[in-house]
Structure 1
Amino acid sequence: MNSLVLAVVGVCMILLGYFLYSKFLSQKVYKLDPAYTTPAHRFEDGVDYVPTNKWVLWGHHFTSVAGAAPIVGPAVAVIWGWLPAFLWVTLGTIFFAGMHDLGAMWASNRNKARSIGTLSGRYIGRHGRNLFLIVIFLLLLMVNAAFAVVISNLLVSTPTAVIPTWGAIVVALLIGQAIYRLKWNLVAVSIVGVVALYGLMILGDMYPIELPETILGLSANAFWIVILFLYAGVASLLPVWMLLQPRDYINGLQLFIGLGILYGAIIISSPTIVAPAINENVPDGTPGIFPLLFVTIACGAISGFHGIVASGTSAKQLAKEPDARLVGYFGAVGEGLLALGTIIATTAGFRTLAEWEEVYSAFNEGGVVAFVQAGGSILNSGLGIPESLSATILATMAVLFAATTMDTGVRLQRFVVAEIGEIMGFKLKTWVATIIVLVVTMGLAFGAGADGSGGMVIWPLFGTTNQLMAALTLSIIAVMLIQLRRPVWPVLIPLVFVAIVSVYALIIQLGTFFTTQNWLLLVLDVIILVCALWVIVEAVAAMNRARKAPAIELPTAEEEDADDRLSASSSKL
């Protein structure tokens, strides 16, 4: 089959989802109100609450949620054939991911930009909130630890990506100053920033940086992991406008251009898909396609991590409520397009079926390396870009996706640690919560692997935990919609499906971990499964209560502020 057909059909389906389905959700389900005063304006502090241009915020949200997962997941899942992966990515983006991300941002925005964990306490109950926070903490732990390993591996395997990876930070700092301090034109700043990033890629391709085998007693991989965590810790403490937001924005533009280059190469070269539509000759040890397909491809179809970002940072920067459609739903569209491009690259970027089968000789053998190798081949044949530079562009794309997610992930995990501290009766200073996050995450990375690769130890649980997190987020949105007597089926159907496949996958993994005597993952699996089932039971009860209770109306921003002042006065008395 010609890959161009797959690209055109997939892109058209996903874009139609944005232009049609997101409009329905915005007008009929979430009813986004341009007159509503968002928390970004009401609580503006110049650090976390910052009213932001919707395109800049889209860039932050898109790159924060994308990470390496929409590359890794689809690049692994095509082992079952390209058709199941294609259907899940396209339909998942339209009816699951976009609805979930937009809904999480709307729910947070209508609750003073509180995190999804806090909202669980309000809409599901106190016990549900506590268990919810455990799942969120573990999910962020997996994301931060594992993405550090992914980035370090790419910096070692593709040394030409080192200069553009770290140079992007300098570019972002300058862009932050240009936009917020100097008030320069956004379009001009954007063009200069993108040109600078691609200039850094060319420079990196000319001057690769390879570290020695050991530095200060650490391997090259371990050294990069330490540097990455120290950077992420500092970045999480800076005001969002200074580094996080401009870094995500300019990376978002560069990454979207990178996607354009990849799709342009596909259009010009029109490579043939050599992988089977349904692979009936999977390697020994490959698990069954159901339910593993739906948790292997998490980001790119639906991802619970998106809800944490939408409510943790993005909702605090939303200037106007209708902007949530572009930021939330179109952010999911960007990730879906990346996942679709990955599917095409890893099934059409090989010359023969035998070559493809050699790479996919075992489950989990695909991934970022397969994407860079196969995608680089397509860029070379379609656009004539030298193979070395092609690999640099794609490796840098993967690194920047993972790095921007890690930046946001550390900040979000700090919020969760602070929230857990409040529940336990004490308030943590920002820097103390950040140190706790770094100690715990680096403890996992180095405690389970001397080279820092321990972050991958709990990665097998990422997909299932991530999807469970999505189901739990959807349950909060469903409760709110039932209370408001608005259409709930667009949320309820995906909620039921994702909850079933996630719990089923966790149960299957329990057997695998027991058989292989992987006691750490077995214990974590049990904890996550118990927490998730408990929250699901509480959520069903909350939906039933909401259905029986009288309908409510969302308060205006002024009414919420008045209630806050009244509560504050009452507490003083």
Structure 2
Amino acid sequence: MNTFPVILLALGILAIGYRYYSKFIAMSVLGVDETRTTPAHTQYDGQNYYPMGKWVLFGHHFAGIAGSGPLIGPTLAAQFGFLPGLLWLVLGVVMAGAVQDLVILFASVRRGGKSLAEIARKEISGFSGVTAALAILFVVTIAEAGLGLAVVNALAESSWGTFTIGMTIPLALIMGVWMFKLRPGKGIREGTVFGVLGLLAAVIFGKLIPGSFLGPYFTFTKHQLTVLLGVYAIAASVLPVWLLLAPRDYLSTFMKIATIMALVVGVFIVHPDFKMPALTEYIAGGGPIVPGPVFPFAFITIACGAISGFHSLIASGTTPKMISSEGHIRTIGYGAMLMEGVVGIMALVAATSMFPGDYFAINTPVAQYQAKIEARYPIVNLPNLSADVGENVQGRTGGAVSLAVGMAQIFTGIPGMRSLMSYWYHFAIMFEALFILTTIDAGTRVTRFILQEFIGKFYPPFARPDWLLASVSSSLLIVLAWGYFIWTGSISTIWPMFGIANQL
């Protein structure tokens, strides 16, 4: 079956959902009022509460919610066939995921930009608020550790990826100062052009870093990257939101969306077929990647691509404190989640356009594949794929490698790009790391808000978001918590709980 008409139909459903259903929820159910003053204005402090332009904030919010889930989840769920994941990604995001994000964002804006735990305390009871805060702190710590480990694994010994992603930090700082201090209200377009051109240069010249005299300066071990990641997360959590976090997320969103749109164009040009069947025998359970049956494990595995509890933390964390007008809530809350749904759909297409034997050979250990899967799904093109990307990809479990191979296959199917398989493969690996990193910085800042609110119940001054000592100390505690799990590798023992807790 050809993927082209399926993608057109899916995009059409998402567009209809945004045009009609989101308007109904926002205006008729919630009662969004564009004339109402938002907390970004009434509680402005120049640090956390700061009115942000709609599209800059859209970029921040999308970057904050779109982590590994919409990329890796659909890739792993492809073991059930292309149909279950496709149906859930399209219907789930329109009817559930985007609605949740919209409603939580609206609720937080109407309650002064407070966190989900604080809203629970005020609307239900003090005990409920404490319980919610503790549960959120646990879940987010595990999520940050798991996402951080994925970034560390992707960038370890990769000077190209580290250089390109690292360059987004100085670019964001310059953009922040220019757009919000030197040219407030007028410098968005200029800052955007500068940032996008700088990012393109970083991607192009990043390919030249390995093997050059700069290579060793951007090559780090996993432990070194863990430390650098922690330092960056603290800075993003503590610095004024307009200086680093928002402009960097805004800049990263350009690369994220541009890459996904390029993948959509690639599908329209190449017209790849679904090589994975609509349904596999693993829908009943016993799969080599996800052991459980399609219900409920397809929903748990796909996670953020369709609906995610983690999104409610961003929607009640940094974003509501920067909403300039309630009229922006629909675009940011519902629209950003629809965009994440597009990411999930394209990841599923990239994975299921591979031959099933090649897909399973990458995503399962070699011995397991040979013993239990090879007879049913034999390898077709894997040796050629490994040769084209320049490394052996068999047995590279986890989803990231198979997604990168699938994306590279589509890109190299475009006329004139056949010889660029290795480039697109390594670009896709770096792209995945960039996708995940923006969730870590926003997640750390959101968790800092929750921790300050929680400790503030016992020592009220600690709850002040503008108190630097409280901000730094709470950020440090959070980073030490998830950094410990990355450093020791123990995150793998408790990570499976995150998928279930995230959906609950």
Give the TM-score of the pair, scaled to structure 1. Answer: 0.76
**1:401 correspondence with 2:442:** no
Q: 1:264: which partner in 2? A: 265
Amino acid in structure 1 at the alignment position of 2:358: E
Counterpart-to-counterpart distance in 2, 1:210 and 1:277: 47
Q: Distance in 2 between matches of 1:373 and 1:19?
A: 34
RMSD: 2.3
Give the partner amino acid of 2:484.
Answer: G
The secondary structure found in structure 2 opposite 1:272 is: coil
Q: Distance in 2 between matches of 1:76 and 1:69?
A: 10
> What are the within-5 Å matches in structure 2 for residues 107-506 of structure 1?
107-156=107-156, 159-183=159-183, 184-208=186-210, 220-280=221-281, 283-284=287-288, 286-348=291-353, 350=354, 352-361=355-364, 365-382=397-414, 384-385=416-417, 386-425=420-459, 427-428=461-462, 429-446=470-487, 449=488, 453-468=489-504
Once residues 444 and 255 of structure 1 are traced to their aligned partners in structure 2, the CA distance between those partners, rounded to angstroms, is 27
For 2:129 and 2:276, how far apart are their aligned partners in 1?
44
Shift of 1:185: 3.6
Any idea what SS the aligned residue of 2:50 has? coil
Change (3 A) 1:2 1:210: farther
Aligned counterparts of 1:48 and 1:21: Cα–Cα separation in 2: 31
Q: Which runs of 5+ in 2 are unaligned?
A: 369-395, 463-469
Q: Secondary structure at the match of 2:313?
A: helix
When residues 236 and 37 of structure 1 are mapped into structure 2, their CA distance, relative to the original with a 3 A threshold, is same
In structure 2, C-alpha distance between the alignment counterparts of 1:98 and 1:389, rounded to whole Å: 34
Query: What is the CA–CA distance in structure 2 between the aligned matches of 1:329 and 1:342, rounded to whole Å?
Result: 20
Which one-letter code corresponds to 1:191 in the other structure? V
Q: CA deviation at 1:353?
A: 3.1
- The 1:16–1:203 alpha-carbon spacing in structure 2 relative to 1, beyond 3 Å, is same
Q: Separation in 1 of the partners of 2:41 and 2:447? A: 24
Give the superposition deviation at 1:171.
Answer: 1.2
- Distance in 2 (CA, whole Å) between partners of 1:324 and 1:393 is 33
Question: Structure 1, residues 434-480: CA drift from partner, whole Å, max 9, x if none?
Answer: 2211222222333xx2xxx3333322111111111xxxxxxxxxxxx
The alignment of Structure 1 onto Structure 2 pairs a total of residues equal to: 458
2:207 aligned counterpart, secondary structure? helix
Q: Is there any run of 5+ residues in structure 1 with no aligned partner, and where?
A: 469-573
**Alpha-carbon spacing, 1:288–1:108, altered in 2? closer, same or farther (3 Å):** same
Task: Call closer, same or farther: CA 1:420–1:353 in 2, change over 3 Å.
Answer: same
1:7-54: CA deviations, max 9, x gaps? 111111112111111011111111110110000000111100000110
Aligned to 1:471: none
- CA drift of 1:271 comes to 1.0
**Cα distance, 1:219–1:46 mapped onto 2, change above 3 Å:** closer
SS of 1:312's equivalent?
coil
Deviation at 1:259, TM superposition (A): 0.9
1:241-298 per-residue CA deviation (whole Å, 9 max, x = no partner) reads 0000001111112211111111111111111111111111564572111111111111
Q: Structure 1 residue 210: deviation in Å?
A: 11
Q: Please give the residue correspondences for 1:498-537 in structure 2 after superposition, counting only pairs within 5 Å.
A: none
Question: 1:152·1:225 contact (CA, 8 Å) conserved in 2?
Answer: yes
Alpha-carbon distance between aligned partners in 2 of 1:14 and 1:238, rounded to the nearest angstrom: 36
Q: SS where residue 322 of structure 1 aligns?
A: helix
Quote the offset at 1:371 in angstroms.
1.0
Shift in CA distance, 210/311, structure 1 to aligned 2, threshold 3 Å:
farther
Alpha-carbon distance in structure 2 between the residues aligned to 1:224 and 1:175: 25
Q: Secondary structure at the match of 2:156?
A: helix
CA contact (8 A) 2:157 2:221 kept: no
Judge conservation of contact 1:73–1:296 (CA < 8 Å) in 2.
yes
Percent identity among equivalent residues?
30
